[in-house]
Amino acid sequence: MPTVACHDCDLLHRLGPLPEGVTARCRRCGGLLRKRTRNGFERTLALALAAAILFAVANAFPFLSFEMRGRVTQTNVVTGIVDLWKGGKPEIAALVALTIEVAPVAQLSLLLYVLGLVRIGRVPPGLPTAFRLLRHATSWSMIEVFMLGIIVAIPKLMGMATIVPGLALWSFVLLMLVLSAAMAAFDPEEVWERVEGRR
């Protein structure tokens, strides 16, 4: 039985597999040791698939349209990043590309790789590395920070031009929610249990 330390008081517990919907708490302080969500595996997989579709839509369609003195300019996410780069802000362009493109793509690909293979009854090669990379990708994936920046910028821009939110903007809003829900439902322990049960 694996040993788990309480995050709050460091008391060690021996913790076996938990049934679905059960929460394990510390004997001494009541701190959360582990939570097994109901249908966590299937929920994460479904949400990750939905997030992948939303990500594709968010990148394929216009993000914002500006109308200024009868001239309409449309931007999408990638052209926005390229414009930042060309406009002499390469560091910001690289940071935006990393946090809203590269990291979320890595996060979703790794999640779908692991869950997809386990779902069809296979053990994903390089599983510990995939989990490690997923942790890094998740910490760099910051769609919500980007959206906050957009929400702050839109009222300022509205003074200068007519702003029409595009399909990509709404997809980003949904993506932000669906991706957080996927990560909240994701339980790496459950993946290990399924993989080990098959060995």
The only residue of 13, 18, 31, 144 in contact with Zn ion, by rule CB under 5 A = 31
Q: Which stretch binds Zn ion (CB under 5 A): 4-12, 36-44, 162-170, 186-194?
A: 4-12
Q: Least separation, in Å, of the C-beta of 38 and Zn ion?
A: 25
Interface residue with Zn ion among 2, 5, 9, 188 (CB under 5 A) is 9
Choose which of 5, 22, 23, 29 interacts with Zn ion (CB under 5 A): 29
Q: Virtual CA dihedral for 49, 52, 57, 60, nearest 10 degrees?
A: -150
Name the residue among 129, 116, 121 with its Cα closest to residue 52.
116
Closest approach of Zn ion to the CB of residue 26, in Å: 3
Q: Is 111 in the site for Zn ion (CB under 5 A)?
A: no
Residues present in the chain in total: 199
Work out whether 143 is an interface residue with Zn ion (CB under 5 A): no
Distance CA 173, CA 193 (A): 33
Q: Which residues pair with 164 in a beta bridge?
A: 65
Say whether residue 124 binds Zn ion (CB under 5 A). no
* Tokens coding 48: 């990750």
Instruction: Determine the interface stretch with Zn ion among 28-36, 54-62, 87-95, 149-157 (rule: CB under 5 A).
Output: 28-36
In this structure, what are the phi and psi dihedrals at residue 8, rounded to the nearest 5 degrees?
Answer: -90, -40
**Residue among 6 and 137 whose Cβ is closer to Zn ion:** 6
Quick one: 31 or 116, whose CB is closer to Zn ion?
31
Identity of the amino acid at 82:
V
Q: Cα–Cα distance between 64 and 167 in angstroms, integer?
A: 8
The contact set with Zn ion (CB under 5 A) reads: 6, 8-9, 11, 26, 28-29, 31
